[in-house]
């Protein structure tokens, strides 16, 4: 007998075609349950003794780090608040000092301006009084010389108008009627 030639595309037919998938085979159910329970117990103890403590340690370390960071942030916040209060206090002090300095400078300048104004007013009043004295003297001198000038001019004018010669004394008496008496 010769065997038929196969090209490799056919499904081989075996005598075990009636077999059931091993995990679903009822004959192997009891040993599978024993192995399942042993594997579960071993996995449970591995997780309980190794994995869970490591995970718990990592979680605890993370929680501790978070708490340290929160504490450090609160400490920095308190320091910043203290620095802000010190800054605001020094700023208020500086403003008060600046106001006091400005007020003192203003008062000093006002006093200096008042002194200068008083000195200028005194000098101006003195110059004005001197000018009034000079004006009065010049006016008096001009009034005195008006009589002389008038008497000098009146003589020739009278001679030209009337043809008579008039003496200087007569002209002075005529111009000042109360002076000759």
Question: Alpha carbon of 38 to those of 28, 44, 48, 53, 115: distances in Å?
Answer: 16, 10, 15, 22, 112
Residue 125 lies in a domain: yes
Number of domains in the chain: 1
pLDDT at 124: 94
pLDDT at 103: 94
Residue 18 lies in a domain: no
Enumerate residue ranges in the chain where pLDDT < 70.
Answer: 1-18, 178-181
SS (H, E, C) 118-163: HHHHHHHHHHHHHHHHHHHHHHHHHHHHHHHHHHHHHHHHHHHHHC
Residue 3 lies in a domain: no
pLDDT at 106: 94
Task: Please list, in sequence order, all residues whose beta carbon lies within 8 angstroms of the beta carbon of residue 179, skipping any fewer than 6 positions away.
Answer: 172, 173
Residue 14 lies in a domain: no
pLDDT at 29: 86
Distance, CA of 53 to CA of 1 (rounded, Å): 70
pLDDT at 20: 81
Tokens of 149: 């000038």
Residue 27 lies in a domain: no
pLDDT at 141: 85
Tokens of 105: 């400078």
Nearest in space to 175 (alpha carbons), one of 163, 2, 18, 157: 157
Which DSSP string do the residues of 60-77 spell out, in sequence order?
HHHHHHHHHHHHHHHHHH
Question: Alpha carbon of 147 to those of 14, 47, 162: distances in Å?
Answer: 174, 144, 21
In terms of residue numbers, what domain contains 145?
36-175
| 0.95 surpassed by pTM | no
Residue 156 lies in a domain: yes
pLDDT at 10: 64
């Amino acid at each position: 007998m010769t065997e038929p030639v196969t090209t490799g595309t056919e499904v081989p037919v075996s005598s075990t075609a009636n077999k059931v998938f091993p995990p679903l085979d009822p004959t192997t159910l009891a040993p599978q349950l024993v192995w399942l329970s042993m594997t579960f117990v071993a996995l449970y103890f591995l997780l309980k003794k190794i994995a869970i403590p490591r995970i718990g340690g990592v979680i605890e370390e993370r929680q501790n780090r978070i708490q340290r960071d929160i504490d450090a942030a609160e400490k920095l916040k308190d320091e910043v608040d203290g620095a802000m209060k010190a800054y605001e206090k020094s700023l208020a002090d500086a403003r008060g000092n600046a106001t006091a300095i400005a007020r003192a400078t203003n008062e000093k300048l006002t006093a200096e301006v008042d002194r200068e104004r008083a000195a200028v007013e005194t000098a101006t009043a003195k110059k004005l009084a001197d000018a009034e004295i000079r004006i009065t003297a010049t006016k008096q001198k001009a009034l005195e010389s008006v009589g002389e000038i008038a008497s000098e001019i009146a003589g020739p004018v009278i001679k030209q108008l009337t043809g008579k010669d008039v003496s200087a004394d007569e002209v002075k008496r005529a111009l000042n009627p109360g002076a000759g008496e």
